[in-house]
Structures are given as C-alpha cells and as structure tokens.
Amino acid sequence: MTYQHSYAQSIADPARFWQNQADSLAWYRTPSVTLQTNADGTQRWFADGRLNSSYLALDRQIELGRGEQVALIYDSPVTGVTQRFTYSQLRDEVARLAGLLCELGVGKGDGVIIYMPMVPQAAMAMLACARIGAVHSVVFGGFAANELALRIDDARPALVLTASCGLEFDRVIEYKPLVDRALLLARHQPRHVVVLQRPQATAALEPGRDLDWEAAVAGAQSVAPVVLDAGDPLYIMYTSGTTGKPKGIVRENGGNAVALCYAMRHVYGMQAGDVWWGISDVGWVVGHSLIVYGPLMCGCTTVLYEGKPIRTPDAAAYWRIVEQYRVNGLFCAPTAMRAIRKEDPHGEGVRSHDLSSLRQLFLAGEKLDSATHEWLERVTGKPVHDHWWQTETGWPVTAPCVGLEGSAARPGSSNRAVPGYHVQVLDDEGRPVAANQQGAIVIALPLPPGCSQTLWGDHSRYVQAYLQRYPGYYHTGDGGYLDDEGFVYIMGRTDDVINVSGHRLSTGEMEDLVAQHPAVAECAVIGVHDEIKGQVPLALVVLKDGQGIGEQQVQAELVASVREQIGALACFQRVRVVKRLPKTRSGKILRAVLRKIADGQDYVPPSTLDDVAVLGEIEQVLAGLPRAG
C-alpha cells in the first residue's frame, strides 16, 4: 500500500479506511458501526466494539506465540539494575496487580493516579488498570505536590500508586512525602496509597491507608481482562492549557488500540519481534503510546530506560542501549539529542558503539532544529525524521510513514500528514490560505481514531478549546504553513503555552504564581530561546513602589515558589525587573512583542501599543539574554 493511496482513501472515506484497520485487531466484538458524529462535532469511533487494551498488549501476544519473547527491558543506569520480562512474565505480573486493585475495591470506570518513576511497575500499573477497566492517570514524577493535588482533585482517584523515590542522576528524590503533602492539599482523598519501596529510600506508611506494594501483590489473585466498550476511557493524561487548570485529556480504548497498531507499523515501520525504544517518561503521552501500549500491542520488545541522555554515566548512554539490545527504531525529543551533541560534538560516543540494528530515529516534542538534525544524521549515519503530534492526538499527525511505500521525508519540515489527518492552514477569519502562507494549523473533522474527544469531567471545555475557534476543524494551537507538496512546517504555539525540553507548560500558570509575590505589582512570563531546552520561561516583573527588595532577592524567592508549586521541570530561573510592561491601550500586555525582543528578532511595534518608549526600556533590560541561533 502506498502512502498516497492510503492517505487519499483515509480522507475520502474515513469510516471504510479505519474499519479495514480495525478488522486486524482481536476484538471481543468486532465493531459494526465505525464512525458516528455527535451534534457538537465530536466523533464516536467503533461504538459497538468490545475489547480490552491489556489483553491486546499481553494475552493476545501470548496467544500468537510470543509468550517467551521479551516484552519489556528495564535498563536503569541510575541504580545499576537491568531486568527483562517476557510477555508471559509481564502478563502474570499485571494480572496479579490487577487482582490487588480489585481486592482494594477498584473497578471499571474508577480513577487511579500513578505517580511513579521509570520502573517496570509503572508500566505494570497502567496495564493492570486497563485490565479491569479502571482509568489511569500517570502524573509525571517531576511535578510538585501542588500539581499532583490538582490532578487528584480532578481525577478523583480511588487509589494512588506510587514509589518511595525516583532518582535524578545520583540524587534520590523521595516521592512519598510529596504524595502525603498532595493529599493534605487535595480535597478528594483516595481510599488507599500503594507504595513500591525501592532500596534507595524507605517511605513511611500510614497504617490503614498505605500498603506495601510487594507484600500486597504477593497475596493477590490474578484476574482476567474485563470486556470493555470501545468508548470506555483507558486513561486521562493531564496537559497544560492556557490557564492554570490542567486539561484532562481522555483516551478511549478502541480508537487508541486501532490508531497505535496503525502507527507502530505504518508510521514507525515496526513489526512484531522488533525492538523499539520510546525515550520518554511514563508521565507523558509518549510514555503511554510509545513505551507501553503501542509497542506491546504490536508485539515488539519495548525498552524502559531510567536514565538521562548524559551523565548516566556519559553522552554515549543512548548508543550503548541501542547496541546492547539491538534496538531497531527509537523515538526521542530534540532536547536530549542537543544535550548529547553539546558533550560529544564529534560523535565519538556514537562511533564506539554498533548501531547496525537501528533503522531510523524519530524526533518530536518540539521542532527539530536543522543543526541537531544534520549532526544526528551525520554521526549515526541513519535517517532522522522530525514528526509532529500532541497529547491530544496521542499519535503522529505528520510524519514520514516509513512503513508505507512512497512516503518521502523532507528535512526542515515535520513532514506530511499521516493518513487520517486532513491538515490545513487557516487565516484569522477561518479561510484556507495558499501554500507557503502562515496561519493556524488545523485538522478538518473528523479526527481519526485515537484522538481525544473530550476532557475529563469537562466536555464543554473540550468543545470550546478545540472546536469552536474554527467550526468544522480541530484547532491544534500551533501556527505554521504547508509547502506546495503538502509538507508541514510547525512554527510554534499561537497561545501562551511554552515548550521546555519537549514538555508543555502554561506561562499563565507561572504568571499567577509570580503575581502572588507581595512585592510584584504586575508581571509577564514568556518563553525565550534556550540552546538545550528549546525554550525556558522568563519573568518580567514590575515591583510595587517602596518595597526595598532587589532583583536578586525577588528572583530567588520567585524561583523557589515556582519550584515548590509547579516543580523543577518548569526550569524557571530567570527574573528581570522592569519599570513597566508594554500594553495595548485597553491594558493588555503585549506578550508577542516581549517574546520577539527577548529572542532578538525583528518586530514592528503594534499599532495598539500604548507607549512606544517602553520597548526601548525592555530591550535594554533584555540585552544580555542568549539569542536564538
């Protein structure tokens, strides 16, 4: 099947195209209805289909003869541990853990928060929830207690699964005190907290509420997968929106399974028996799609890595893994490759390892800059592909489909739309623009299977955030253009979301925190260029008169506050005091202009600007910042 043919068919007759894909899945009941559209523009895929995602990822693979194949390789340079689980072993672990969840009263539709580091038990926890129809929500371990509490109050979990600690290089980060603090802050209280005690730290357990993971699982009975409807939620993944309240993206079982099986084979070119490495964290969407569900449902061996690109122990760590496990394909964020390149510009670490198993590398999470792209291709000698997607879509929107014939890749672009996605560019009035003209990147409805169709407990926010701006289209929040041949160029977010090391963060949320400082009169937080992380936040603050506090002190206090409330992953380190901020006559802060000044780009002072002189003042204050290359 060629890319052109698949793409044309997927747009002309989406129901037929996806029914064909769905037919290859082992449903308990094959769907007879493929696509239904609701009055508000959202879709229902495979409405009467019945399945179980844990069955597809484990039991089904064993039925197909993969019981003795390694399903999951755990490699942890930070603890010196490596472990392998065959499909049979992983299924047995998951079935027992699922049994424990049942014994603790967790059932279909109940929420479960998973706050865990990159250990195999995190993947087992997700699959155990899926097995019994509980809805998991993995919260990234780098989030502070306050962020965890927000998610607990939104997901209202019956249970929290956690570990005593995570490891950052050689630093032990205790998780349990964070969970305890989050539960003090949260209004909702789960019935139990199950704690995996790791040798690096022992967590104190609260009698009655907290359980020791190993002891509890040891006494549990295995359970079989339950039959679920295609539309039943598999998980909630929180992501930053433009306000402080995170959005609970909901992924459905049916669409997710069909989409991920399609993506693994046709986008990433993986087959059963291949070794796949999704370099990310279970706390992000990539961890769900490309560490756990995608590779396992496709019968691959998945690598779960508890380490960093550098300093665990060095910049050759990735290449060591590729050689050691004969990795055939990998996903990575550009920021990790930039960190490796900085330490090993000549690729000596690459040359000291055998990468012959590796067919290609896929990068996403932020734009792949051409310097990193060229370097990576040069040192590895492998094709390197930029591709673009979002937490909301759950799988690639644009990518070279290496599993389809005739699929070209174009360096500098995020490549062409994947079958199922009708990507277009619109102007402010919602009119399609010509090729090479910039505008808002949208996807014409219907969205393909796998894409989120609602937000947890807040459907109207979904409709308002994604479908109302351009009726008939899904609004991605990214700006960019398509060239004459349909290759997509993503220029960045058009809202107040920034991308730090491939992680989406809301500048609005940080502004809220900064504004709470007693000395701050007003502020703006913007994303500025960073050589390694892509973007980092910068706060411009106007101090109240007569505060007697200097820039150093206000910076130190604000840095501590953001670290405490959001977490170290925000990389919030820079604060500059300014006399005033550029505003429109109606008093709106002109953040777009601030971003341009901070990144040293040319700009035209907006006609709505209240007082042009303020721009000169800001330029002076920001003169010392590193510039985009």
Q: Which is nearer to ligand AMP, 229 or 386 (CB)?
A: 386
| Residue 469 Cβ vs ligand AMP, minimum distance, rounded to whole Å | 14
| Residue 275 Cβ vs ligand AMP, minimum distance, rounded to whole Å | 24
- The DSSP line for 252-310 is EHHHHHHHHHHIIIIIS---TT-EEEE-S-TTSHHIIIIIIIHHHHTT-EEEEE-S-SS
| Residue 329 Cβ vs ligand AMP, minimum distance, rounded to whole Å | 17
| Residue 224 Cβ vs ligand AMP, minimum distance, rounded to whole Å | 34
| 225-257: burial string, b at 16+ Cβ within 10 Å, e else | bbebbbbbbbbbbbbbbbebbbbbbbbbbbbbb
Q: Which is nearer to ligand AMP, 3 or 389 (CB)?
A: 389
Q: Which is nearer to ligand AMP, 285 or 336 (CB)?
A: 285
| Residue 399 Cβ vs ligand AMP, minimum distance, rounded to whole Å | 9
Distance (Å, whole) CA 194 – CA 104: 10
- Which stretches of the chain bind ligand AMP, using CB under 6 A? 239, 285, 364-367, 386-388, 390-391, 414, 476-478, 490, 493, 499, 504
| Residue 281 Cβ vs ligand AMP, minimum distance, rounded to whole Å | 12
Q: Which is nearer to ligand AMP, 111 or 396 (CB)?
A: 396
Residue nearest to ligand AMP as judged by C-beta position: 391
Q: Which is nearer to ligand AMP, 440 or 554 (CB)?
A: 440
Q: Which two tokens stand for residue 554?
A: 């206000």
Query: Which residues, other chains included, contact 441 with Cβ-Cβ below 8 Å and sequence gap of 6+?
Result: 423, 424, 425, 476, 478, 479, 480, 488, 490
Q: Which is nearer to ligand AMP, 67 or 412 (CB)?
A: 412
Distance (Å, whole) CA 155 – CA 141: 17
Distance (Å, whole) CA 313 – CA 297: 32
Distance (Å, whole) CA 546 – CA 51: 65
| Residue 12 Cβ vs ligand AMP, minimum distance, rounded to whole Å | 27
| Residue 430 Cβ vs ligand AMP, minimum distance, rounded to whole Å | 19
Q: Which two tokens stand for residue 46?
A: 């495979």
Helix (H, G, I), strand (E, B) or coil at 238: strand
Helix (H, G, I), strand (E, B) or coil at 179: helix
Distance (Å, whole) CA 526 – CA 177: 31
Q: Is 416 left (phi over 0), alpha (psi -120 to 50) or beta?
A: beta
Q: Which two tokens stand for residue 525?
A: 């937080």
Q: Is 548 left (phi over 0), alpha (psi -120 to 50) or beta?
A: left
Q: Which is nearer to ligand AMP, 391 or 507 (CB)?
A: 391
Beta bridge partners of 388: 398
Q: Which is nearer to ligand AMP, 67 or 508 (CB)?
A: 508
Q: Which is nearer to ligand AMP, 176 or 504 (CB)?
A: 504
Q: Which is nearer to ligand AMP, 232 or 386 (CB)?
A: 386
In degrees and rounded to multiples of 5, residue 323 shows phi and psi of -70, -50
Q: Which is nearer to ligand AMP, 76 or 372 (CB)?
A: 372
Length of the chain: 629
Helices 120-132 and 87-103: crossing angle, nearest 10°?
Answer: 60
| Residue 107 Cβ vs ligand AMP, minimum distance, rounded to whole Å | 30
DSSP state of 501: T
| Residue 165 Cβ vs ligand AMP, minimum distance, rounded to whole Å | 25
Please compute, for residue 390, the number of CA atoms within 13 A of its CA located in the half-sphere on the CB side: 28
Strand-by-strand arrangement of the 301-305 sheet: 81-86, 70-76, 301-305, 275-278, 329-332, 360-363, 384-386
| Residue 423 Cβ vs ligand AMP, minimum distance, rounded to whole Å | 13
| Residue 164 Cβ vs ligand AMP, minimum distance, rounded to whole Å | 28
Q: Which is nearer to ligand AMP, 367 or 529 (CB)?
A: 367
